Structure 1
Amino acid sequence: MTSSSSKRPKKGSGRGCGPWFVTAGLVLLGAAGYGLYHLSDINSPGAAGCTVTADGDSMDLSPEQASNAATIAAVADSRGLPERALTIALATSLQESRLSNVDHGDRDSLGLFQQRPSMGWGTEKQILDPVYSSNEFFDSLVKIKGYSRLPLTVAAQRVQRSGYPEAYAKHEADATLLSAALTGRKPAALSCTTGADAADSAGGKFGDTAKVKARLTREFGGHVRPVSGGAPRTVKIASAPGGGAAEGDGARHGWAVAQWAVAHAHDLKVEQVSFDNRRWQAAHSGRGWQRQKPVTAAKGASAPVPSDAYVQITVAQ
């Protein structure tokens, strides 16, 4: 891979159009982009979608957008990066691909960040791997001195070398809201509705705990370690980073893992996610996260394990 300074700016196609065609094209593109990003039927019967809410603000995402955002967040977590790094990455992907892992773009641009094989970002296959492309983005971002204190447009532009650097700014508010949920700063701020057709469109009705564990390990790295025990069909993860007992920022990290699981519920066939006396269930996904009564010990019994010590992800089977 070449350094970020050697990646060329993305430029327009240079094709000429009359004013009417340009205006009409912009209107059509704008409508298409709005329809993809703000899904009008996201909560309609049979539809699958996700919503992020916090402090009175909300944002709608498709299952693909939510799962890609959660993967970017997990990669940032695995690297120990601050929330600002994730916000910059999410705003960049929202602008470049609408958080979709597209196999096309300007010239040879591909993937979540529209990275170009010809500019040293990797092979086509590598760039279309969300974990790889996210790591490549962060590799370039962390080389920028003081990136977390720079305006988002400046930081994103120094990585992307885009022909339209000002465009990143319009996504900052949404990226900030989304990163707050995916890092656990706003507990239970992300919820997904699986929809009546979710199982079929996701490739079947049943999940696989081995697949969930593999995805968790690959995306979060050593920051998550599934532990033994727990109910059948359930993956149990210690909420503290590294798999130790929950302490310090364990609750926040636990929520990051829990939100990741809900964001991937559609493709991993997740039936239920439980953490910190709250539960999300696919069968009642329209209700979002629901509070559960804290577990209390019977008289003479040892104290129960704190509810924020483990995240439990149960797959359909």
Structure 2
Amino acid sequence: MKTSGILAVLAAFSTSVLAAPVDNAENTEILERANLPDLNAVQSAHARSIIDEVKKVGVGMHGCEAAITTGLTEESQSSLRILANKNVPASLNYAHDGLGSDHDSIGIFQQRAMYYKDIACDMKADCSAGLFFNGMKDIKGWQTMDIATLCQKVQRSAYPTAYQKYTGTAAKVCKAGM
């Protein structure tokens, strides 16, 4: 008898809890902030770090789109993930989302360690974005240049047409994050 009485109380309590109103607007807003368009949680966190750097250095929407496009495209491995590389043993000492294998390229932007020697910076989204923006600002006319063309001029990729694939996604991400 005691057990059935307890179960009856629990059943009544759970029904009232389930029937309680929920502030769906607030919960929906939290969920929408969780991930930027077409990105998972890891990618969104890195994109937000890049966007913070965009705001800090003042390169606007155009700079944001170039950086996010590059981060999504590079090495077809990065996809806005921070990659270490066994060819750069020091990169393994930093937080990373996976391993890349292209020469000595590391981080979101797959920056070559032979040129970008500050491995700690290369392995952080905001700092490596700053390096990307430094190179971008050296390009005459970057402010109005086609995004895919701009990415190629900064990165000098062996696959110059690859950037075009992600310009639309980058535009959505930047619009949502800025």
Return the TM-score normalized by structure 2.
Answer: 0.68
- The residue matched to 1:61 in structure 2 has which SS? coil
RCO comparison, higher one (Cα < 8 Å, 6+): 2
- d(CA) in 1 for partners of 2:104, 2:119: 9
Partner residue in 1 for 2:18: none
Q: Does 1:159 align with 2:154?
A: yes
Displacement of 1:126 in angstroms is: 2.2
Aligned residue number for residue 131 of structure 1: 126
Matched, 1:87 2:81: no
| Aligned CA distance change for structure 1 residues 148 and 124 (closer, same or farther; 3 Å) | same
Aligned twin of 1:297: none
- 5+ long unaligned stretches in structure 2: 1-32, 86-99
Partners of 2:39 and 2:63 in 1: CA distance: 21
> What are the superposed Cα offsets for residues 131-188 of structure 1, whole Å, 9 maximum, x if unpaired?
21010000000111111211112111111010001000010000000000111xxxxx
Tell me the matched-pair count. 128
What is the deviation of 1:130?
Answer: 1.7
Residue of structure 2 equivalent to 1:78: 56
Q: Structure 1: how far apart are the matches of 2:174 and 2:38? A: 14
For 2:84, the aligned partner's letter is D
> Which residue does 2:29 correspond to in 1?
none
Extract unaligned runs of 5+ from structure 1. Answer: 1-48, 53-58, 184-317
Does the 8 Å CA contact 1:103/1:111 hold for their aligned counterparts?
yes
Corresponding residue for 1:110?
Answer: 106
When residues 128 and 181 of structure 1 are mapped into structure 2, their CA distance, relative to the original with a 3 A threshold, is same
Matched, 1:98 2:79: yes
- Taking only the aligned residue pairs, the percentage that are identical comes to 30
2:65–2:171 contact (8 Å) kept in structure 1: yes
CA RMSD of the aligned region, Å?
1.5
CA distance in 1, matches of 2:161, 2:66: 13
Q: Distance in 1 between matches of 2:135 and 2:109?
A: 12
Please state whether the residue corresponding to 2:130 is helix, strand or coil. Answer: helix
Q: Report the Cα offset of residue 60 of structure 1.
A: 2.8
Give 1:122 shift: 2.4
Helix, strand or coil: the match of 1:113?
Answer: coil
1:50, distance to aligned residue in structure 2 (A): 4.4
- Give the 3-state SS of the residue equivalent to 1:103 in structure 2: strand
